[in-house]
């Protein structure tokens, strides 16, 4: 499911059919009025699941966070499909190699999950660490991208 604003920017997305779950990932002041209908960005999701793992790259997003979170989210969008990085690498790319917890926090607070691909970040040993939508979803996304 995708939650977007009136300008077609993705605010939140996830592997659920409950709009409340997506709204809960946003601070109350940043929640739009909920309306049902087809997302402008649904075709990108369909293309992604049909094998075009780059289809999500150009989808506009809108996020609300701290300056470090904003930098981290920008860096997440630069991670190539099939080439996961570690939280330590994300921290370094975000400007502070020692801010690993802050990088992990940015991933945890990333509401438009598919479009800002926090699933491409793994722990130092290459293992799958937390993902808001569950480790099985993260594993499946990484496998899909590795195969593309």
| Catalytic residue set | 118
Query: What is the three-state SS of 53-116?
Result: CCCCCCCCECCCCCHHHHHHHHHHCCCCCCCCEEHHHHHHHCCCCCCHHHHHHHHHCCCECCCC
Exposure string (b/e) for 78-110, b if CB count within 10 Å is 16 or more? Answer: ebebeebbbbbbbbbbbeeeebbebbbbbbebb
Beta carbons within 10 angstroms of residue 147's beta carbon: 9
Please give the Cα distance from 78 to 137 (Å, whole number). 21
Please give the Cα distance from 86 to 92 (Å, whole number). 10
């Amino acid at each position: 499911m995708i939650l977007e604003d009136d300008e077609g920017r993705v605010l939140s997305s996830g592997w659920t059919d409950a709009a409340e779950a997506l709204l809960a990932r946003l601070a109350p002041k940043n929640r739009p009025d909920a309306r049902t209908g087809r997302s402008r960005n649904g075709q990108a999701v369909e293309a992604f699941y049909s094998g075009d793992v780059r289809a999500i790259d150009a989808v506009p997003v809108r996020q609300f966070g701290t300056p470090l979170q904003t930098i981290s989210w920008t860096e997440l969008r630069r991670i190539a499909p099939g080439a996961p990085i570690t939280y330590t690498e994300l921290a370094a790319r975000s400007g502070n190699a020692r801010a690993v917890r802050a990088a992990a926090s940015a991933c945890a607070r990333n509401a438009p999950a598919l479009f800002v691909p926090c699933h491409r970040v793994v722990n130092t040993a290459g293992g799958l660490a937390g993902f808001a939508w569950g480790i099985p979803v993260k594993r499946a996304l990484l496998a899909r991208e590795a195969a593309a």
